[in-house]
Chain A
């Protein structure tokens, strides 16, 4: 744990998340509900906690109140008198008179933090990823290569790699080129059918980070983004390595998802379900922390008609009198008599009226679906009333009132 002392951790959480609209219309993307009881940022913060990291800055911008509120309600557990903290940092307009222009600029604007701490390494994380990662293993890799920058990466099939930022590496894992959404992605030495996709998780030698964000701040052409500007500016000039986030025993990539679009959000919920889920929330070796709940136990009420619950995650405080399959229910959800819910993500206190039918839908907190109403069964009717994703998922925001 000694090597943690020189590490400062910064979580990027300021993005607007437009591609997750309408879920992000009143809050920051990292505090979108995920997996029933979590917010997306809980995964990254839990990874920090489980890795022994207890000094964390969360850089906020868009919807910063929602993030501050969540950090207070769920993560007020550090002891500042022991040198532990989670601080949220919106643009302060002290050093320069502007918002964060991009991820790299958000570090530039906080150089005084790094000056005050003088860390040896800086770990840069994202607040909108779902994964379980031992950051100390990446730190060990970084130190063993004497790297200036280590970029975490997952293997993806080469045919699908065109959707990602791809790291072209040599036999020593050194990055020789960075390609944003390449038409012809390079394979991995020894594994030509796969490519390495950047996870947006970066570990820097602190002084190199400072030099690079300053260089970037002076570049009029730059978008001030780590992926688009900082990595390309370093590759070939500095010691930049890729850390392959995989299970060495099986050779398989570990689970990592960027919750960038609504379909990815929905699909990642599917990964939580089943007897052996792709992404296991029940792993006691690596607990994911959520906001403590004061809800009573969930109840399943028999009222003459049998209730069916198959392959679901059901949070506390729910009341089920109908049929629910392959769904994720947040606290306080009610499923009325004879109602049917299939493949849905229901946020807090959603009520599904008796006899209503819902499938392949995301429903925001507090929505009351009237008796007999249908969502996700008639694509034309849905498209008239609600946002529908490319993948055909209906999103029901809580600013609509549904009429019987």
Chain B
């Protein structure tokens, strides 16, 4: 079973992702901030990370290179309500950039492409 980490500070979105990806047959670990995400990356074997950008404290663009620093080959999807971060070089280190929507079809599609 593939394991996916979701880091998002909005509980409703986190729950939606956990529910739908569990239905798809993934094991899902959910955290509400970037620091907890880094702890999980360090300790758990993961296949993919879904990372929100705007979170309290450390944001997703700060966490992204640290995740790569710990697990070079681990795919990361940036999942954000905002499209403007696509312009930032820091976001280019992600394997995909998905703008949030109530329909998770695009997110699921990207996951399938990456793992």
Which residues from chain A sit less than 8 Å from chain B, CB to CB?
95-98, 108, 111-112, 114-115, 210-211, 214, 217-220
B72 and A219 form a contact (CB under 8 A)? yes
24 contacts between A and B (CB under 8 A): A95-B62, A95-B65, A95-B69, A96-B65, A96-B69, A97-B66, A98-B69, A111-B89, A111-B90, A111-B93, A112-B89, A115-B88, A115-B89, A115-B90, A210-B92, A214-B93, A217-B68, A217-B93, A218-B68, A218-B72, A218-B73, A218-B93, A219-B72, A220-B73
The minimal Cβ–Cβ distance linking B68 to chain A, given in whole angstroms, is 6
User: Interface centre among B65, B72, B89, by most A CB within 10 Å?
Assistant: B89
Beyond A95-B69, A115-B90, A214-B92, 17 additional pairs, beta carbon < 8 A: A95-B62, A95-B65, A96-B65, A97-B66, A111-B65, A111-B90, A111-B93, A112-B89, A115-B89, A210-B89, A211-B92, A217-B72, A217-B93, A218-B72, A218-B73, A218-B93, A219-B72
Contacts of B73 in A (CB 8 A): 218, 220
Contacts of B65 in A (CB 8 A): 95-96, 108, 111
The minimal Cβ–Cβ distance linking B63 to chain A, given in whole angstroms, is 10
Measured in the bound complex, the distance between the Cα atoms of B73 and A108 in whole Å is: 15
> Chain B interface: which size bin?
10 to 19
Measured in the bound complex, the distance between the Cα atoms of B89 and A214 in whole Å is: 10
Look across to chain A and name the residue whose beta carbon is closest to the beta carbon of B64: A95
Contacts of B66 in A (CB 8 A): 95-97
Contacts of A98 in B (CB 8 A): 69
Measured in the bound complex, the distance between the Cα atoms of B87 and A114 in whole Å is: 12
Contacts of A108 in B (CB 8 A): 65
Measured in the bound complex, the distance between the Cα atoms of B65 and A218 in whole Å is: 10
Enumerate B1-17 residues with CB–CB distance to A below 8 Å. Answer: none
The minimal Cβ–Cβ distance linking B72 to chain A, given in whole angstroms, is 5
Measured in the bound complex, the distance between the Cα atoms of B65 and A96 in whole Å is: 6
Measured in the bound complex, the distance between the Cα atoms of B100 and A268 in whole Å is: 60
Q: What 4 pairs between A and B have smallest CB-CB spacing? A: A96-B69, A115-B89, A95-B65, A214-B93
Measured in the bound complex, the distance between the Cα atoms of B15 and A64 in whole Å is: 49
The minimal Cβ–Cβ distance linking A234 to chain B, given in whole angstroms, is 16
The minimal Cβ–Cβ distance linking A211 to chain B, given in whole angstroms, is 7
Measured in the bound complex, the distance between the Cα atoms of B89 and A217 in whole Å is: 14
Contacts of B68 in A (CB 8 A): 96, 217-218
Contacts of A95 in B (CB 8 A): 62, 65-66, 69
Look across to chain A and name the residue whose beta carbon is closest to the beta carbon of B88: A115
Contacts of A217 in B (CB 8 A): 68, 72, 93
Contacts of B62 in A (CB 8 A): 95
